[in-house]
Amino acid sequence: MERTLQGRTALVTGSTSGIGLGIAQAFAAAGAKVMLHGLGAPGQIDQARAELFKLMGEDAPYSPADLSDPREVRRMCAQAQAELGRVDILVNNAGIQFTAPVEEFPEEKWDAIIAINLSSAFHATRALLPGMKEAGWGRVVNIASAHGLVASPNKVAYVAAKHGIVGMTKVVALETARSGVTCNAICPGFVRTPLAEKQVDAIMQAQGLDAEHALTDVLLHSQPSKKWVEIEEVAQMALYICGPNSGSLTGAALSVDGGWTAG
């Protein structure tokens, strides 16, 4: 892979698995020094760090910060600045999900989803933006969702948070337009991750469908391509946003969704 991020540093939240780990690996392969963040079993975290070691040739810093607590977000950012020297790239990827009708949606689930999916991105951006501005270069990449552009039933907190991420992206882009810093959102459709694949299994059991129909007719009913978005596709979009030819790309909500939001 071309070393387009040689000498750059990056903090990727929610990067011990799934999309976040894919982005962290793509950045490391492109020459960046990356700090991981996330939860998981010790073995899972050790494996993620070992994979980055192979790409970076050095240990990847790691934070287990609870992103629902603004103080821990700030500590995570301070750790990243200390261990990486500075933070050139921030990828706000961490997120959780819960589904229920509005009138049955638990208040504590609303609070948790808004805190982790939206507020943590604000707190991290707020903490790291001054350093990027001072350096005259920076990239903020927010992993939103197709649900940042359109809605679905039973996902009130997730849809609200992802719409908020897209709105925040635009504000940060406007405020940093002359600073050398850009801010963009990636809006994936359903991405092939272990967690998403478990949803297919649940649909098969609940509705008595085979794997193909559970995927294409139920889970991906809104995704015209009827195929998964691959982690690598999202990672390559993030890599381009942070690369050398993307300085005029800012304030965008970039769909990687198999045509979901085209209609």
Residue positions annotated with a catalytic role: 158
| The length of the chain, given as a count of residues | 263
Q: How far apart are CA 224 and CA 33, in angstroms?
A: 37
User: Three-state SS for 48?
Assistant: helix
Give the residue among 68, 20, 13 at the shortest CA–CA distance from 37.
13
Q: Within 10 Å of residue 256's Cβ, how many Cβ atoms?
A: 18
Write the Ramachandran bin of 249: left for phi over 0, alpha for psi from -120 to 50, otherwise beta: beta
How far apart, in whole angstroms, are the C-alpha atoms of residue 86 and residue 131? 7
Distance between CA atoms of residues 214 and 208, nearest Å: 9
Rounded CA gap, 105 and 226, in Å?
29
- Phi and psi dihedrals of 148, rounded to 5? -85, -10
Give the whole-angstrom CA distance, residue 252 versus residue 91: 15
Q: From its phi and psi, is residue 179 left (phi > 0), alpha (psi between -120 and 50) or beta?
A: alpha
Contact 96, 162 (CB under 8 A): no
According to DSSP, the residues that pair with 236 across neighbouring strands are: none
